[in-house]
Amino acid sequence: MASSQKKTRIKANTPKGDYLRVIPMGGLDDVGMNCCLIECNGSMIMIDCGLTFPETDGYGIDVIVPDLSFVLDNLDMLDAVVLTHGHEDHIGALPVFLREVDVPIYGGRLTLAMVGRKLEETPLDGPVRMNPVEPGDRVKIGEFTVEFIHTNHSVPNAMSISIETPVGRLIFTGDWKLDQTPIGEPTMDLQRFAALGADGVLALLADSTNSGSPGFSKSEADVQEGLAAVLESAEGRVIVAQFSSNINRVQGMLELAEQFGRKVALQGRSMHNNFGLAEGLGFVKVPKNVLIDLYDVHKYPDDEILIISTGSQGEPRAALTRMAYGSHNKLDIKKTDTVVLSSRVIPGNERGIQTVINELTKRGATVITANDRPIHASGHAKRGEMKLLLNLIKPKHLIPMHGSYKMRSEHAKIAATVGVTSGLVIDNGDVLQFSGRGKPTVIERVHVGRIYVDGRSNAADIEDVQLRDRKALGFAGIIIAHVVVNRSSGAIVSGPDLMHRGFLNAEEEEMLPVASKFVRGSIEKMSASERRNSNQVSETIRQSLRRYFRKALDRKPVVIPIVHELSLIHI
């Protein structure tokens, strides 16, 4: 991640007294890449540092991270990174960021453990300054007093963050929901949110994801009940696919397995990773004699087996997908299996998931999705919960976070229905300033953007020009023309020899000799002095090849001319 050449400093309209600024660096409109800066009197914290995934695969891009060159240009202000929870879209860009920056990180123990696991694969100069915090902890960071408040979400250890500043208090929800009957954790700390509200909150920065959904989200207890019904009626093995970070759901299933006399085997690398971290830190309580190894599944009758697996999104290499295609080394799908997809469909994964469901069904398994049974609950607050939090906190302003413009505008409208009429719908890069008693204003925009990352060991950035070239190559293939020209006479010694990759089908390849003659003709029409200039010959080759294939096939491949000039005498 290269820092931009010109240092970007926020200077505009800096008021004489105290000021407070909110600068979202990502997460608004982007799917993922959640990252927000809070700056007060020259002291800055970053809340979350997430990644997103490319919309189409195929160009060697593994992940996309926010362009944080603005932060790199203002590093002297940055006092800490504060994390709300351990999902990729909130912590996934940290490995890239921490390669360049040494900054203390605050977050829950499980959240930091998940960061630590990611950093194991990242070569860093020195140790990372991790500061684990508990719900209720208050930490002084620069101009801020940061307090961590327990909330519910689809990963344990999620926390909202109260940020006290000389200008007023912000509450940043992070991803949250209200779960009144949670599994493996308490209900969100309603009393603390209420007390902070009573004490006065300048602005609530809140998750807008589900602003389109009326009512209240389902509880993990509802999901447990739905899964219990499946376990009760299933005659063979039950295989539940879910997100590996949803440890509370695993907890719920461990309890059910004990109740229904089933053994639980975990499947998938990330499932083992996340479960291991959560168990080590006490975020999951494993009943005795319930967990078994996947290798031992065959030792038990089918109706005593529950497998909890990754692959709910139809990911090509996930265990469930391999089972669906019969290419799993340990498990074959049986006709008596019940497969439960206990998850939502992430947009873009529809076809992959549908294919996996199909293959499972072909092998005779019964497949149950959230459309069939109440076996999934959203991790994000719906309208009823949004209103409740606003009514508990009664902030002066709402800044809708996490979501598309439509979701955020909707959130602002919902707030207005419960009396919070100042909904500030801002954009990534907007510098929203609070100061004195005036209305908060966007005083300027700083640079934001996306950086494409090839996720292999060295994690190089993929530049726009590379991506453009890869798209052009992928779209129509390449044709290479190699010609040898006598530098003294300008005569064509040999060629042009044409070769291609991906451009022509077998039948069309018969055009190559004709195209070669056409190009040779174009070169021969040049004057001898023009032909002695390899750049001019290259340009002629490029143009005449393009013209030939545009006319013959109406297609435009990438054309690479290679002109070799000889200062030689032929023998």
546 binding its own copies? (CB under 8 A): no
Binding part of the chain for its own copies, among 36-44, 227-235, 374-382, 505-513 by CB under 8 A, reads 505-513
Considering the complex, state which of residue 22 and residue 357 has its C-beta at the smaller distance from its own copies.
Answer: 357
User: How far apart are CB 374 and its own copies at their closest, in Å?
Assistant: 15
Which residues, 20 to 49, sit near its own copies by CB under 8 A?
A: 29, 31
Query: Which part of the chain contacts its own copies (CB under 8 A), choosing from 251-259, 307-315, 334-342, 471-479?
Result: 471-479
CA distance 565 to 127: 55
Q: Closer to its own copies by CB, 461 or 539: give it.
A: 461
Nearer of residues 62 and 137 to its own copies, judged by Cβ = 62
Minimum Å gap between C-beta 251 and its own copies is 30
Mark 126-165 with x for binding to its own copies (rule: CB under 8 A) and - for no binding: ----------------------------------------
Report the residue from 394, 482, 542, 546 that binds its own copies according to the rule CB under 8 A. Answer: 482
- In angstroms, rounded to a whole number, what is the distance separating the alpha carbons of residues 186 and 182? 6
Catalytic annotation on 447? no
Q: Cβ closer to its own copies: 76 or 554?
A: 554
Closest CA to 62 of 70, 51, 76: 51
Neighbouring C-beta atoms of residue 314, cutoff 10 Å: 23
Using rule CB under 8 A, residue 121 touches its own copies: no
Judged by CB under 8 A, the residue of 13, 15, 57, 527 near its own copies is 57
Decide whether 361 or 422 has the Cβ nearer to its own copies. Answer: 361
Which amino acid is it at 496?
P
Structure tokens at 331: 């498990």
Q: Which is nearer to its own copies, 141 or 476 (CB)?
A: 476
Question: Does 228 help bind its own copies (rule: CB under 8 A)?
Answer: no
530 binding its own copies? (CB under 8 A) = no
* Inter-residue contact 470 to 502 (CB < 8 Å): no
Does 60 contact its own copies by CB under 8 A?
Answer: yes
Could you say which of 501, 517, 525, 547 contacts its own copies (CB under 8 A)? 501
Q: Should residue 12 be labelled a site residue for its own copies when binding is judged by CB under 8 A?
A: no
Report the b/e string of 250-277 with b at 16+ CB within 10 A.
Answer: bbbbbbbbbebebbbbbbbeebeebbeb
Strands (DSSP E) found in 208-282 = 238-241, 263-267
HEC readout, 190-236 = HHHHHHHHHHCCCEEEEECCCCCCCCCCCCHHHHHHHHHHHHHHCCC
Radius of gyration of the chain measured on its C-alpha atoms: 29
Query: How far, in Å, are 223, 342, 350 from residue 154 at the CA level?
Result: 12, 12, 21
What is the total count of residues that contact its own copies (CB under 8 A)?
73
**How far is residue 384's CA from residue 424's CA, in Å, rounded to a whole number?**
20
Q: Does 442 bind its own copies (CB under 8 A)?
A: no
Does 212 bind its own copies (CB under 8 A)? Our answer is yes
Q: Interface with its own copies includes 473 (CB under 8 A)?
A: yes
What is the SS3 assignment for 334? coil
Does position 502 interact with its own copies (CB under 8 A)? The reply is yes
Q: Which DSSP helix (H) or strand (E) runs through 393?
A: helix 383-393
Q: Which residue has the tokens 């291609």?
A: 500
| Burial class, 123, CB count within 10 angstroms (exposed 0-12 / middle 13-18 / buried 19+) | exposed
For residue 446, the minimal CB distance to its own copies (Å) is 19
Please report, as residue ranges, which positions from 316 to 375 form the binding site for its own copies (by CB under 8 A). 347-348, 350-351, 354, 357-359, 361-362, 367, 371
Q: Which of residues 190-209 bind its own copies (CB under 8 A)?
A: none
DSSP H or E run through 450: strand 450-453
Which one of 207, 337, 397, 402 is the catalytic residue? 207
When asked if residue 504 is in the footprint of its own copies (CB under 8 A), the reply is yes
Residue 382, token pair as written in the block: 């719906």
Which residue, 29 or 137, is less far from its own copies as judged by CB? 29
Cβ at position 258, least distance to its own copies in Å: 32
Shortest Å distance, C-beta 20 to its own copies: 26
62 binding its own copies? (CB under 8 A)? no
CA–CA dist 288, 200 (Å, integer)? 47
Residues 6+ apart with CB under 8 A from 351: 314
Smallest separation, CB 412 to its own copies (Å): 11
By CB atoms closer than 10 A (0-12, 13-18, 19+), residue 298 is exposed
| Angle at 330 (CA atoms; ends 325, 333), nearest 5 degrees | 45
Catalytically annotated residue among 85, 153, 376, 380: 380
Report in angstroms the alpha-carbon separations of 474 from 60, 470, 477, 478, 558. 12, 6, 6, 9, 10
> Closest distance between its own copies and the C-beta of residue 458, in Å?
6
Q: Say whether residue 558 binds its own copies (CB under 8 A).
A: yes
Measure the CA–CA gap between 40 and 42, rounded to whole angstroms.
Answer: 5
**Active site (annotated) includes residue 85:** no
Q: Does 491 bind its own copies (CB under 8 A)?
A: no
Nearest approach, Cβ of 475 to its own copies (angstroms)? 5
Instruction: Name which of residues 244 to 303 contact its own copies (CB under 8 A).
Output: none
Q: Is 460 in the site for its own copies (CB under 8 A)?
A: yes
**553 sits near its own copies (criterion: CB under 8 A):** yes
Distance separating alpha carbons of residues 428 and 446, to the nearest angstrom: 9
User: Using CA atoms, how far apart are residues 171 and 36, in angstroms rounded to an integer?
Assistant: 13
According to CB under 8 A, which residues from 416 to 435 bind its own copies? Answer: none
Query: For helices 512-524 and 534-553, what crossing angle results, to 10°?
Result: 140
3-state DSSP call for residue 20?
Answer: strand
Choosing from 3, 8, 122, 409, the residue that interacts with its own copies (CB under 8 A) is 409
Judged by CB under 8 A, the stretch of 64-72, 129-137, 166-174, 463-471 that binds its own copies is: 463-471
**Contact between 402 and 26 (Cβ < 8 Å):** no
Residue 469 interacting with its own copies (CB under 8 A): yes
Q: Of residues 8, 122, 378, 404, which one binds its own copies by CB under 8 A?
A: 404
- The rounded distance, in Å, linking the Cα atoms of 515 and 544 is 9
Provide the minimum distance between the beta carbon of 358 and its own copies in the complex, in angstroms, as a whole number: 5
What residues pair up with 461 in beta bridges, in sequence order?
453
Catalytic residues: 207, 380
